[in-house]
Amino acid sequence: MVDKVKIEQAVRLLLEGIGEDITREGLIDTPDRIARMCEEIYGGLGHEADQHLLKQFPVENNEIVLEKDITFYSMCEHHLMPFYGKAHLAYIPNGKVTGLSKLARTVEVYSRRPQIQERLTVQIADALERTLDPKGIMVMLEAEHTCMTMRGIKKPGSKTITTVTRGAFTEDKELQKMFLSMVKG
Ligand SMILES: Nc1nc2c(ncn2[C@@H]2O[C@H](COP(=O)(O)OP(=O)(O)OP(=O)(O)O)[C@@H](O)[C@H]2O)c(=O)[nH]1
Ligand SMILES: [Zn+2]
């Protein structure tokens, strides 16, 4: 749970810090709005995805399961500015699969907190490993960081791509190629 009172105080200070008049009409409700927004965009803090991923079903066919183009929004922990893009998750089951929506829920849990993209990628893979014990895992995130596009170095359109492989996806380069062709195809 976020401390809404603290957030409201901080927003008032920030607005005063940039030289704004916090009593003007357009800004009066802004501290409250941002506090409510923080509940949403940082709502993954203190949670793990395990409870979702443990919704499982037995399978006999242990072939790749890939959920691609899962849109995500997270907050860069260095600038508290959004980074957003697509997540692609694949695993090779070990006799059990999870519900498809639970893969997207996993991305949500770990993206809704101050993050760096590399850690987000690892946390998603760790959660799959813990709960499903699959024969292999590959996670790829492609994102645009607004701290690189609208400020600082200002390189609009630049993309950051991070990957994590585990098990069969680490050992077998052909599997990695298959993942990439399924993601791009
Ligand atoms: N590795 C990694 N770096 C990130 C991520 N998000 C933002 N950064 C980087 O974090 C770094 C912070 O660098 P600093 O030099 O402390 O901050 P800064 O002065 O605002 O740097 P500039 O962005 O270069 O203006 C920057 O290079 C950002 O591009 C991320 O998800 N992963
Ligand atoms: Zn940043």
38 annotated as a binding-site residue: no
pLDDT at 81: 98
Q: Closest ligand 1 atom, CA of 115?
A: 31
| pTM assigned to the model | 0.95
At 21 the three-state DSSP class reads coil
Whether 151 lines ligand 1, by a CB cut-off of 6 Å, is no
pLDDT at 1: 83
* pLDDT values of the chain reduced to their tens digit, one per residue, 185 residues: 899 999 999 999 999 999 999 999 999 999 999 999 999 999 999 999 999 999 999 999 999 999 999 999 999 999 999 999 999 999 999 999 999 999 999 999 999 999 999 999 999 999 999 999 999 999 999 999 999 999 999 999 999 999 999 999 999 999 999 999 999 98
**Can you tell me the ipTM of this complex?**
0.90
Residues 87-127: tens digit of each pLDDT: 999 999 999 999 999 999 999 999 999 999 999 999 999 99
pLDDT at 61: 92
Pocket test for ligand 1, best of 73, 74, 75, 78 (most atoms within 8 A of CB): 78
Determine the Cα–Cα distance for residues 22 and 52; give it in Å rounded to an integer.
42
pLDDT at 5: 98
SS3 of 119-173: the string is HHHHHHHHHHHHHHCCCEEEEEEEEEEHHHHCCCCCCCCCCEEEEEEEEHHHHCH
Domains of the chain: 4-41 (1.10.286.10), 50-184 (3.30.1130.10)
Whether 116 lines ligand 1, by a CB cut-off of 6 Å, is yes
Lookup: tokens for 133:
């014990």
Distance from Cα 80 to the centre of ligand 2, integer Å: 6
Question: Read out DSSP for 38-54?
Answer: HHHHTTTTT--SHHHHT
Sign of CA dihedral 122, 124, 126, 128: negative
Q: Write out the H or E segment, with its range, that includes residue 72.
A: strand 65-76
Residues marked active site are found at 76-79, 117, 145, 147
147 annotated as a binding-site residue: yes
Nearest-CA neighbor of 52 among 146, 132, 139, 134? 132
pLDDT at 185: 86
Under the phi-then-psi rule, with left for phi > 0, alpha for psi from -120 to 50, and beta for the rest, what region is 115? beta
pLDDT at 74: 98
Whether 166 lines ligand 1, by a CB cut-off of 6 Å, is no
Whether 148 lines ligand 1, by a CB cut-off of 6 Å, is yes
Q: Rounded to a whole number, what is the distance in angstroms from the first to the last CA of the chain? A: 41
Pair 90, 106: CB distance under 8 Å:
no
